[in-house]
Structure 1
């Protein structure tokens, strides 16, 4: 037994000896190649181990790495326009060898300059265009979906920083406690010399792709990020927002999403129409040979890239490397600089896959400099395997990434062993620095003020007061209105939430109030995704029939300003019980029970006809049950204090709602069934911008008074509302069945960019079209049925409420967007029902719209 024990020890020692001997013969060399004069890094420099055919090229950052198993002592570096340099290395050890290449100059006795007109650029008989057409023709076989199965590991790092900070800014009194946060970097890089990191995240994932049926399953195995206090910032929403702005770059896609815009790829099917191409170099000593293909936009303000592609001449016409940037005059807001670098590696079948991408964008209010923000996203791909199928269960549940249970709890040792490239010491400190920052009292006070200003809530620990923009408003019924309210936070409980407000109108001398209690069923904040809660509430307040609000409260101060007459309102009493359940795949359903009492206010009245006279009714009482279904695949949003702000993308959103009125239950006076459905979809049109389309329809079965019909969304404010009819008056049209279409087209400056006087203003063209077709059955139409509740008459005895006849309601607009980078102004025209009382055929509406 002892002999056997020593035998095992001897085997182990022998293996260690062989391993040591093997390592002793191995030489690992890495470093950076730069210009000897400017000190700038040189991308794609060729290097060769002397006496062999083994070598490689530096990456887009001028970095290289090579492992040598023999006793070679020299590496030769070569680059077009530079003198070759030979560096001596020491065999058998790991070493850093940086290289400076001197520029190659030619001595000339005499220079003769002859002026001639530059030949006009054309696609015909242009070898650069012929080359890019070959790249386009071979795109399908160079894409991931060329294979039946693909799997790979993916590492992502996102960092967001305040950038280009001056010493004056850095030394301000407000930052005296935050000196430890600042970073110094190479001043030649995007973002300037001094940075102040504010966010960092790293993710490691396993990815499995199947072509038929197409599925991409992502399993996040590690996730490390800066987490801010949830009272101030939605951490998940912040990550989602950055992911939306910095999406993966697929050079083979026709359009590439960058900072929420679609830029045409230089190898898109129609690229030769919008780009100019030039062959600027041929790299002979690379295997296979590479052609450096430079490209630039024909119009420098269009949403296009400029840069260089390195194309293989091995029959694949694949992209080996890519450098993408944008013209300084591009019609992108707040983008001072953009740089993307892509590296590809060869598969065993001699085709190529993306191995690394790096995207840096520097933002600022002015492109001339000053303090701004810089975001950088680096993605590495490794262990790339093709056509190795897995069981079907591997690809299930691919709609959203799957996060393993302990992904956010990985140790520092785990990250050190699994990062493809080690973080710099300063970047490693970002996590601890920002954790420390949140413990500093002055930072907490600053965030308190910022939250009050932007979100409208003042935090008091277990309770927060707001929103402040509703504290004061006015309207023709209530007159001067004051409101005060607030809600509890997770500091009080993660299970129980309460919200309340009280308001008083000095004209109608009535109190309005709201109170709700909510129980979270998943022990998460009821404002965090995915929601799962039960809520009971009571509300007594005013409402304008047919006013549809998006992301604002109805008593927002700015909505106090309205056009025309708008003194018809309702006093509503709502008793509600709601259950809401969301799922990770963004499917959700809600169940509701509501007791509703409507009382007319102002000039609004409820009346039935009786022998040529009107008998007025004080109220309408209903009891309802409802079911609502919603499916928004791949939906992304930022969760604010009150509303979710959607990050609109190409994926559709489906809504369906069924409401049943029950007579005789809880005082309900009517039986009816209301079915409503809608689809929202954005269509990206490449250089022509994008189109937002909404289709909606509803049907109400049963005899009901007009306040229970579909009161179409009108707008009597001066703001342009996307989902409302901007020249329709409140309560002007009602229906018990309808279908509508809403089209909003944004051209992103495609036409204005061609007009010399306009292109410098970076204006953008917008158009809209809205059509509504519907009607009333006879049982609900007082014009043909005296038993139906009568429409309200104006002073001239003319009904101000109407049903849609055979003609649809149509309005459209043309407008200019991006005025001062944030304002959209539309000239709106109403095309039908112009004889209705107090209508406007034309109107000018404005909308604040923050876009990149």
Structure 2
């Protein structure tokens, strides 16, 4: 009985001890959390190691500089360490929750105390280099660490993009225009990107759900909320701003061989052949992190190349994954206007032990002068959470366009954004939406925007109608003499359904009035210039034209195009009535159906003459044509530089396919000819990493039926002094015609790959370009007036006249120097074939103005 009682007491004692231990353990758990910042810049510091002093217990800070560590041990101090900064130690209370924020101070003397007396510097080599061996392991494991490794993946994403005028002087800040608007400015530490004073101009935020499926491949983003600074649509196209900025600040995928940045491609430090272009160094081992990390620093072998420099942190848990990256570019890199660039990437561990991108923060400061003066600062922050893998959704989730904006995405209130953002906006960023509204009420700001619209876009806005383009108001040519023109177009302020465009012109030499009228009706209640287009248009034009002249993105009566080489006296008077239906789909497939009634009259030295059986020449007069047409265009993943009343495709790596068919019908609305014209084309940009990029365009056509020469394919010639990518720059107007042809254009930009290796050239940031064009074609006997007297004779003139291509193709090529003054490309063009044709130029110098980064 006594033994049983003793046993019961023992068990009770053990139970009490266990309960006491549990409560004691709970009471003695020490938790420390807080934020680590840079004492100089006040910016949060990621990847900093925080441990309990004299232990290996701890962790690291995230991208926002936040940390949280805990222990049941009796520790009263924490230690904070980071390479290049003084170690910080802070006292804490054991057994309690502690909030400790730490500002680390740079260790400016750590390197100054070291004296190196070594002899000859050891040459860098990849052989037997542990850093290179490590990066090769990272490369070998790339596939399994990418999103495409999963069959399915989904995540939520928050994105914030902002732009500001940067590095502003006190003189600018104190201008009279800002006297009562000092609240617009943002002050920050002068050492940060952008300088001390910023003037925020634009901000956009997005929340989205993202879905990925490997097979069949699908990637979809559903934007559930969108908030954007809104400018007056009279001056700025807000949707166009978004498209343009997204093109500049694309997603950074360090696992891709090439990373798109500002319309360029930079070689990733973990690209397949990165050891051939980068030097790698192991600069730290972070054993206090879980998993253990190796800090790998890298720098370009050629500091002028399209390459990054910085640090990546590699996990040592067998994944050889990138856990974090800090990327920047050398100041010598051949990127226009870029003063500073910094990209920070952070990755989180999935449930399966692999890593996914959790945050990306890209900052770029632009300026005409790289060392001083005002500029533009832009930042794009992307945060990813709720990452789920291999959890398939229904097929409907993945179908449809890649990006969908829900109907009420722009209607979310401030409270919604306050609860939904993964971080808190600083005061300046939070106030930008209201501040810009206030800025637009300043009369002087409105006046400045009005002038800027006229100078940059060429139009003067009057609300529902705008007048322009200004560069067509005055021009001249041999047929019309001095040409005066005035026109304009309606704006969406008048109607989102109806659009009108018109102009009138008068030639002082031919004493003729020219005019144009068009009316367009939008079928989807969107601007007819916005994607996807869906409209019908009717137009009539009575005007002059140079046969075979095709211009890219400029008006034919542009003043600068008045200056031409050689004889320029072969012209047409055209009367063209058109009716077109255009329909684009979300997958970037589009089709056009058209009706065209076209009357052509010869002008200048051009004559429509027919050789009669008695040997005399008969002036035919007017050529009447009636044509039905249909075309299909597919441009997968195409994006545009979107303006209020225009849009320009952005070249990308995806091909563009076109197929067109035209049917001439004799007897319909006065048409005189039956014929069929079939044309097909493919164009694509090829990115070649460090070797630049190549734009390739091919086209072919075949005309069935017998027609006079004005209805043959008149190949695109160029007699201006401006270089045109898709015209033949040493071919004379109407020099060659064909009823069947094939062509190819190759334009390769080396992006400074060669010039960057020449000491005298690399400082100028010039870029070398080569261009090649070839055209094969001919005219069948049934369409050749030399074999058929019923046809109009090929014209002759000061330039030698019109010819059919023979068995030899027309070939021309050029070598060019681009990026002169960051805007100008100058080509030295050489013509290789048909050099004996009268009036041709064997060589020529052409200029091309292009704004690029």
Which residue does the alignment assign to 2:10? Answer: none
Q: Is the 8 A contact 1:709 1:734 kept in 2?
A: yes
Unmatched 5+ stretches in structure 1: 1-21
Residues in 1 aligned to 2:851 and 2:729: alpha-carbon distance in whole angstroms: 21
1:818 is aligned to 2:819: yes
**Alignment partner of 1:666: what SS?**
helix
Which residue does the alignment assign to 2:291? Answer: 288
Which residue does the alignment assign to 1:450? Answer: 452
1:32 is aligned to 2:32: no
Q: Is the 8 A contact 1:362 1:374 kept in 2?
A: yes
Residues in 2 aligned to 1:676 and 1:24: alpha-carbon distance in whole angstroms: 81
Residues in 1 aligned to 2:791 and 2:108: alpha-carbon distance in whole angstroms: 92
State the shift of 1:591 in Å: 1.6
After the TM superposition, which residues 456-471 of structure 1 pair with which residues of structure 2 at under 5 Å, given as runs?
456-471=458-473
Which residue does the alignment assign to 1:532? Answer: 534
Residues in 2 aligned to 1:811 and 1:515: alpha-carbon distance in whole angstroms: 38
Which residue does the alignment assign to 1:556? Answer: 558
How many corresponding residue pairs?
A: 825
Which residue does the alignment assign to 2:442? Answer: 440
1:672 is aligned to 2:672: no
State the shift of 1:27 in Å: 6.0
**Alignment partner of 2:428: what SS?**
helix
Which residue does the alignment assign to 2:801? Answer: 800
Unmatched 5+ stretches in structure 2: 1-25
1:574 is aligned to 2:556: no
Residues in 1 aligned to 2:824 and 2:62: alpha-carbon distance in whole angstroms: 42
State the shift of 1:582 in Å: 2.1
State the shift of 1:466 in Å: 1.0
Q: TM-score, normalised by structure 1?
A: 0.93
Which residue does the alignment assign to 1:832? Answer: 833
**Equivalent of residue 135 in structure 1, options 138, 157, 179:** 138
Q: Is the 8 A contact 1:514 1:538 kept in 2?
A: yes
Change (3 A) 1:557 1:94: farther
**Equivalent of residue 390 in structure 1, options 393, 401, 405:** 393
Q: Is the 8 A contact 1:677 1:697 kept in 2?
A: yes
Residues in 1 aligned to 2:66 and 2:831: alpha-carbon distance in whole angstroms: 64
Q: Is the 8 A contact 1:477 1:508 kept in 2?
A: yes
Change (3 A) 1:739 1:60: same
Which residue does the alignment assign to 2:16? Answer: none
Change (3 A) 1:94 1:717: farther
**Alignment partner of 1:251: what SS?**
coil
**Alignment partner of 1:508: what SS?**
coil
Q: Is the 8 A contact 1:688 1:750 kept in 2?
A: yes
Change (3 A) 1:209 1:112: closer
1:157 is aligned to 2:155: no
Residues in 2 aligned to 1:38 and 1:848: alpha-carbon distance in whole angstroms: 40
After the TM superposition, which residues 258-269 of structure 1 pair with which residues of structure 2 at under 5 Å, given as runs?
258-269=261-272
Which residue does the alignment assign to 2:567? Answer: 565
After the TM superposition, which residues 248-263 of structure 1 pair with which residues of structure 2 at under 5 Å, given as runs?
248-263=251-266
1:334 is aligned to 2:360: no
**Alignment partner of 2:242: what SS?**
helix
Which residue does the alignment assign to 1:476? Answer: 478
Change (3 A) 1:70 1:224: farther
1:186 is aligned to 2:206: no
Which residue does the alignment assign to 2:87? Answer: 83
**Equivalent of residue 274 in structure 2, options 261, 271, 274:** 271
Give the RMSD, CA atoms, in angstroms: 2.4
**Equivalent of residue 631 in structure 2, options 624, 628, 632:** 628
Q: Is the 8 A contact 1:33 1:58 kept in 2?
A: no
Q: Is the 8 A contact 2:59 2:69 kept in 1?
A: no
State the shift of 1:50 in Å: 6.5
Which residue does the alignment assign to 1:15? Answer: none
State the shift of 1:793 in Å: 2.0
Q: Is the 8 A contact 2:368 2:375 kept in 1?
A: yes
Residues in 2 aligned to 1:547 and 1:38: alpha-carbon distance in whole angstroms: 57
After the TM superposition, which residues 636-785 of structure 1 pair with which residues of structure 2 at under 5 Å, given as runs?
636-640=639-643, 643-785=646-788
After the TM superposition, which residues 478-517 of structure 1 pair with which residues of structure 2 at under 5 Å, given as runs?
478-517=480-519
Measured against aligned partners, the alpha-carbon deviations of 1:349-400 in whole angstroms (never above 9, x if no partner) come to 2211111110000000011121000110001010111111122222112x43
Change (3 A) 1:79 1:453: closer
Residues in 1 aligned to 2:561 and 2:814: alpha-carbon distance in whole angstroms: 22
**Alignment partner of 2:670: what SS?**
coil
Which residue does the alignment assign to 1:6? Answer: none
Residues in 1 aligned to 2:63 and 2:309: alpha-carbon distance in whole angstroms: 15
1:211 is aligned to 2:214: yes
Q: Is the 8 A contact 2:829 2:844 kept in 1?
A: yes
Residues in 2 aligned to 1:245 and 1:708: alpha-carbon distance in whole angstroms: 43
Q: Is the 8 A contact 2:520 2:537 kept in 1?
A: yes
Q: Is the 8 A contact 2:135 2:270 kept in 1?
A: yes
Measured against aligned partners, the alpha-carbon deviations of 1:30-66 in whole angstroms (never above 9, x if no partner) come to 212435x8877654221135698653212456x1132
Residues 97-106 or 491-500, more deviating: 97-106
Which residue does the alignment assign to 1:600? Answer: 602
Residues in 2 aligned to 1:620 and 1:450: alpha-carbon distance in whole angstroms: 44
Change (3 A) 1:89 1:685: farther
Q: Is the 8 A contact 1:78 1:85 kept in 2?
A: no
**Alignment partner of 1:151: what SS?**
strand
Q: Is the 8 A contact 2:488 2:501 kept in 1?
A: yes
Which residue does the alignment assign to 1:12? Answer: none
Change (3 A) 1:38 1:540: closer
Which residue does the alignment assign to 2:20? Answer: none
Q: Is the 8 A contact 1:46 1:285 kept in 2?
A: yes
Q: Is the 8 A contact 1:85 1:101 kept in 2?
A: no
Residues 72-81 or 492-501, more deviating: 72-81
1:786 is aligned to 2:789: yes
Q: TM-score, normalised by structure 2?
A: 0.93
Residues in 1 aligned to 2:160 and 2:111: alpha-carbon distance in whole angstroms: 47
**Equivalent of residue 609 in structure 1, options 608, 611, 632:** 611
Q: Is the 8 A contact 1:33 1:45 kept in 2?
A: no
Q: Is the 8 A contact 2:537 2:579 kept in 1?
A: yes
State the shift of 1:642 in Å: 5.4
Residues in 2 aligned to 1:387 and 1:325: alpha-carbon distance in whole angstroms: 34
